Structures are given as structure tokens and as C-alpha cells.
Amino acid sequence: MSNLQLILDEPSATFFPLSPVNGQLIFESIDPIKVKNITIKLFGKAEVKFSEEINGKLEIFADEEIIIEKDFELWSRIDNEKLAAGKHDFSFKFILPEQCPPSFIGEKGNINYKLIAKVDVSGEDLEVEEIITVSPMTYISTNSPVICTTVFNDVNITVSN
């Protein structure tokens, strides 16, 4: 029996472009196990779907685009070695690319990001996912520090004096 957990250092799971994403992948196994590799993937996708009546006929329009799909290898097997029984903690850190558009959920489309951790075991892969939110970078010219966060369509601004 095996257990896999993905834990982010940032509990809100909200990040900005060019900000670090840190965390740990914890894998536990009762017995030694033959693992090919252990990876974490940053995956982002934009989707749009809507319908429109054209010449009396309902037409459905849909499209999707992969924004990012990047794998990071945390561990890989050498020869025929087995991963020892017990608890294994794999730390990770990467920087979100600058060009990541912000997360968005709308009536006709969305932009979603997630981390997918995978332990590649022959015959039975283990996977765990964690949804993350990418907030937009906001630049405001002011003499006071400004913190701006976006939650879907609402903008909350806090000014500190």
C-alpha cells in the first residue's frame, strides 16, 4: 500500500507570474517499490465554449489551448534499484513563467492551472493533483504600498500607510 501527498508552502495556492512555487511531495510505501520516476507537472489550460443561433440553427463553438505543460523530475531510478519502504519527502521549487495569464472562471470560458504529481510505478501509477490560482500582476503608481488580489471578477485593494 502506498500514499502520495502534495503539500504547497503557500496554503492559499495563489501565485503571481514570476513568483516561486514551493512545496513537498510526500510518498509513503510499506514495502520497497520499483519506481521508474517521480515527477511534478505544472499544467495550465484555457477553454472557451459558447453557442449562437445562426440562420435558425444552434451552433456550438468550443476551443482549448494548453498554456503551459512543464514536467519537473524529482527522482529517477538507477538500474533496477527499488525505492526503500518508508516515508520519502521530495521538495520542489520553480518559478511561474511571466507570460501566464491569470486564472479565470467565466460563463463562456476559463483559465485553470494545476500541479500534477506522479509516481511512475510499472502497472499502477499514483497521481495527485492540486489546483493553483494565478493572480494578475498589478502595477499602481502611488506613494503607499498597495496589495492587490483578484478573486474571479472582484478586485480587493488594500493600501497601507
Q: Within 10 Å of residue 116's Cβ, how many Cβ atoms?
A: 16
pTM greater than 0.85 (yes/no): no
Per-residue confidence of the chain (161 residues) as pLDDT tens digits? 689 999 999 989 999 999 999 999 999 999 998 899 999 999 999 999 999 999 999 999 999 999 999 999 999 988 888 899 999 999 999 999 998 999 999 999 999 999 999 999 876 889 999 999 999 877 666 665 555 544 444 444 444 33
- Three-state secondary-structure class, residue 123: coil
- Provide the strand spans (E) within 9-153: 14-15, 20-29, 35-54, 57-76, 86-95, 104-105, 109-121, 126-134, 146-151
Considering the four listed CATH numbers 2.60.40.640, 3.40.630.30, 3.40.190.150, 3.40.50.10490, the one that applies to the domain covering 2-136 is 2.60.40.640
